[in-house]
Structure 1
Amino acid sequence: MSMGWIHWALLSASFAALTAIFAKLGLQGIDSDYATLIRTCVILLVLAALVMVLDKWRNPFDLPARSLLYLVLSALATGASWLCYFRALKLGEASQVAPIDKLSVVLVAIFAVLFLGERPDARGWLGIALVALGVLVLSLKR
């Protein structure tokens, strides 16, 4: 049975939530940059095994140059995001760091309009505004 995009998105959100909890627990007594390196190595090993087992390996140099460029830029942005996220988790509470990190939802919508030509409707913008408001409320000091 094939799952649709919403199922994968919900799984992604669930795993992202677990990421914050497990990372916060794992950062105790460890430098955040070193912890990010360990996390990245584990991800690399698991994904390499998955690609091999599912016979999805392709020579990356056979891919279109434009695709490679954007994948490299995405990887650099991911790495920067992870480094910042782990530092924030090391210094702050997971329940405050994670909501601010989800401001990325709002930024994705704005960047999608600017760079991809996407046009959310009024309901979409309302949802995006509510996410922004939620981030603001959850990030305020108690």
Structure 2
Amino acid sequence: MWIIWALLAALSAALVVVLTKAGLKNVDSSLAFAIQAVLILAITWMVVLFQGNFSEVKSIEKNAWIFLIAAGIFTTLSTLFSYKALSSGPASYVVTIERLSLVVAIVLSVIFLKEKLTWQLVVGGVVMVSGAILIALSEPGD
């Protein structure tokens, strides 16, 4: 079931890039994210309330709070940086470079989460980095 959620996340992320790029015309990138963040906050809390998970907040452990808050900070920074890049660069180029985060996530997962590094992950990471370099070095429109 995780693969369906991952594919839906990928589709949603792609739509975010395209819709954000279209919406950034004559709008400051930080303001655009602030507008979207209000919706993110409202929709996410509505889902939590609908699912009946709000009472679980008090059972979250201290370490989990620290990790979740840190992840929230980095999510915010990542999105602010991404929107700034989208405001001045072509979406297809920006998202290609930005998605090098996948390779960094693989490395960090192996180091900190002790996930197994397989030859498929290595080859896939090399292909992603190679593709990003190829796209970054090409001229827009080529």
**Residues 1:22 and 2:19 are matched in the alignment:** yes
For residue 58 of structure 1, report the CA deviation from its aligned partner. Answer: 2.4
Q: 1:83 maps to which residue?
A: 80
How many residue pairs match? The answer is 139
Q: Which runs of 5+ in 1 are unaligned?
A: none
Q: 1:128 maps to which residue?
A: 125
Look up the SS of the partner of 2:116 in the other structure. coil
Q: Which runs of 5+ in 2 are unaligned?
A: none
**Residues 1:103 and 2:104 are matched in the alignment:** no
Aligned mates of 2:120, 2:33 — CA distance in 1: 37
Aligned CA RMSD, in angstroms, stands at 1.1
Look up the SS of the partner of 2:79 in the other structure. helix
Relative to the length of structure 2, the TM-score reads 0.93
**Residues 1:13 and 2:28 are matched in the alignment:** no
Q: Percent same amino acid among aligned pairs?
A: 29
Aligned mates of 2:25, 2:79 — CA distance in 1: 17
2:28 to 23, 27, 31: 31
For residue 48 of structure 1, report the CA deviation from its aligned partner. Answer: 1.1
Q: 2:109 maps to which residue?
A: 112
For residue 59 of structure 1, report the CA deviation from its aligned partner. Answer: 5.4
Relative to the length of structure 1, the TM-score reads 0.93
Aligned mates of 1:66, 1:30 — CA distance in 2: 38
Look up the SS of the partner of 1:58 in the other structure. helix
